[in-house]
């Protein structure tokens, strides 16, 4: 099927649609050996050889959509100069290279999505989609109502005011309280910086929900494949590019098992609050 070059390049997970346009305009892209600089140009990835900087695009026939429960002490980059563990180290038996959708800090844990579908990832991360992400934060000592109120209304950070958030006290303990913060922005270290701004010291930070998708009962370090319904529901659009997805279910040992029928899961516990 003929598709626009920038779409093919971004779907291959190389870079965003806009950055792909720049690659084309800079003369870095060739189709069957001929450099193409015109933005409307199309190609058929199943027939044509498309190269970026002389390297052939690897177009995966299989789209992969993964939900990982990231443990603390892993980085979401694909390589690390300090040799720290990578989240992709946890994806044993995954047939193709996948990329994190956004990032979580080294010590943040919880729900991380990974995919080789660059278009889908871009849609999820686009600010206009305002997908809500919910975090549970363990803070040192006691939280007071005034701090919750300020977090909910928005706090001043060095890169501007934060948008209103949904904030509540989840659990109160002897030494620490747990609060829930749901935000739709995705600024760097946003939750940690919001907490700092109201003098709360973060002891633990865990993402428990991404839009309609809840972390559920996955243990730290384990992952599962999303069902087709979950993929569509998250991005709010049908997947146009064939073929869908490896689907899987979890057996008792929580290891992903391939199945021919996508199983719908996660919907019940994932509602907005
Ligand atoms: N907010 C943070 O501060 N860190 C994360 O990893 C995610 C959100």
36: domain CATH number? 3.10.290.10
Question: Residue 123 has what pLDDT?
Answer: 92
Pick from 56, 74, 97: which residue ends a domain? Answer: 56
pLDDT at 44: 82
Pocket of ligand 1 contains residue 254 by CB under 6 Å = no
Q: Which atom of ligand 1 is nearest to the CA of 202?
A: 3
Is residue 70 within a helix (H) or strand (E), and if so which, with residue range? strand 65-70
DSSP state of 139: E
| Best CA proximity match to 152, nearest among 165, 134, 143 | 165
Predicted local distance difference test score (pLDDT) of residue 20: 87
Cα 218 from Cα 222, distance rounded (Å): 6
Q: What's the CA gap between 216 and 214, in Å, rounded?
A: 5
The encoded tokens of residue 165 equal: 């958030």
Site to substitute for ligand 1 among 139, 190, 206, most atoms within 8 A of C-beta: 190
Nearest residue by C-alpha to atom 4 in ligand 1: 189
Pairing of strands 55-56, 65-70: unpaired
Residues 48 and 138 in one domain: no
Same domain, 91 and 8: no
> Does 32 share its domain with 73?
no
The number of distinct structural domains making up the chain is 2
Residue 264: predicted pLDDT: 34
Atom of ligand 1 nearest to the CA of 133: 8
Residues annotated as catalytic are: 105
pLDDT of residue 61: 67
Query: Euclidean distance between the first and final Cα of the chain, in Å?
Result: 42
| 44 shares its domain with 175 | no
For residue 17 and ligand 1, the question of a CB distance below 6 A is answered with no
Do 144 and 121 have their domain in common? yes
- How high is the pLDDT of residue 187? 95
Same domain, 67 and 43: no
Å from CA of 261 to ligand 1 middle: 35
- The reply to whether 50 and 184 lie within a common domain is no
**Protein residue whose Cα sits closest to atom 3 of ligand 1:** 189
- Mean pLDDT, the chain cut into blocks of 10 residues (273 residues total): 82 76 93 92 85 84 92 95 96 89 97 94 91 97 97 98 98 96 96 98 98 96 96 77 40 34 34 33
Domain around 256: 60-262+268-272
Q: Is 108 in the pocket of ligand 1 (CB under 6 A)?
A: yes
CA 189 – ligand 1 centroid, Å: 4
Per-residue pLDDT, 266: 35
Q: Tell whether 106 and 216 lie within a shared domain.
A: yes
Task: Please state the pTM of the whole predicted model.
Answer: 0.73
Q: Are 114 and 87 in contact (CB under 8 A)?
A: yes
Q: Are residues 120 and 47 in the same domain?
A: no
Gap from CA of 242 to ligand 1 centroid (Å): 33
Q: What CATH number did the domain enclosing 242 receive?
A: 3.30.2350.10
Q: Is the CB of 162 under 6 A from ligand 1?
A: no
Tokens (6 digits) for 47: 């027939």
Task: Tell me how many helices (H) and strands (E) the chain has.
Answer: 6, 19
Q: What is the b/e burial string over 63-88, where b = at least 16 CB atoms within 10 angstroms of the residue's CB?
A: bbbbbbbbbeebbbeeeeeeeeebbb
Q: End of a domain among 33, 56, 79?
A: 56
Same domain, 23 and 72: no
Of 38, 56, 74, the residue that ends a domain is: 56
Same domain, 34 and 135: no
Burial class of residue 61 (count of CB atoms within 10 Å of its CB; 0-12, 13-18, 19+): exposed
Which of these, 7, 4, 18, 13, lies nearest to 118 by C-alpha position?
A: 13
For residues 52 and 66, membership in a common domain is answered with no
Choosing from 72, 101, 102, 104 the residue with most ligand 1 atoms within 8 A of its CB, the one to mutate for a pocket test is: 104
Any atom of ligand 1 within 6 Å of the Cβ of 204: no
Tell me the best of 77, 132, 191 to mutate to test the pocket of ligand 1, counting ligand atoms within 8 Å of each CB and taking the most: 191
């Amino acid at each position: 099927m003929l598709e626009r070059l920038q779409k093919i390049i971004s779907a291959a997970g190389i870079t965003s649609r806009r950055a792909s346009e720049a690659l084309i305009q800079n003369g870095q892209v060739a189709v069957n050996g001929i450099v193409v600089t015109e933005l409307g140009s199309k190609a058929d990835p199943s027939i044509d050889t498309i190269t970026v900087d002389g390297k052939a695009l690897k177009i995966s026939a299989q789209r992969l959509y993964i939900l990982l429960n990231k443990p603390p002490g892993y980085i979401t980059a694909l390589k690390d100069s300090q040799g720290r563990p990578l989240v992709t180290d946890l994806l044993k038996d995954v047939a193709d290279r996948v990329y994190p959708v956004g990032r979580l800090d080294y010590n943040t844990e919880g729900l991380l999505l990974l995919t080789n579908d660059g278009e889908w990832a871009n849609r999820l991360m686009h600010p206009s989609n305002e997908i809500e992400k919910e975090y549970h934060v363990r803070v040192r000592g006691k939280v007071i109502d005034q701090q919750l109120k300020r977090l909910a209304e928005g706090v001043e950070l060095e890169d501007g005011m934060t948008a209103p958030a949904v904030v509540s006290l989840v659990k109160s303990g002897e030494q620490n309280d747990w609060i829930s913060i749901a935000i739709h922005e995705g600024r760097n270290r946003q939750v940690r910086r919001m907490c700092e701004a109201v003098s709360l010291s973060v002891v633990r930070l865990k993402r428990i929900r991404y839009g309609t998708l809840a972390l559920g009962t996955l243990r730290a370090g384990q992952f599962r494949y999303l069902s087709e319904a979950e993929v569509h529901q998250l991005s709010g659009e049908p997947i146009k590019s064939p073929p869908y997805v490896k689907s899987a279910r979890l057996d008792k040992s929580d290891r992903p098992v391939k199945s021919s029928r996508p199983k719908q899961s996660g919907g019940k516990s994932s509602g907005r609050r």
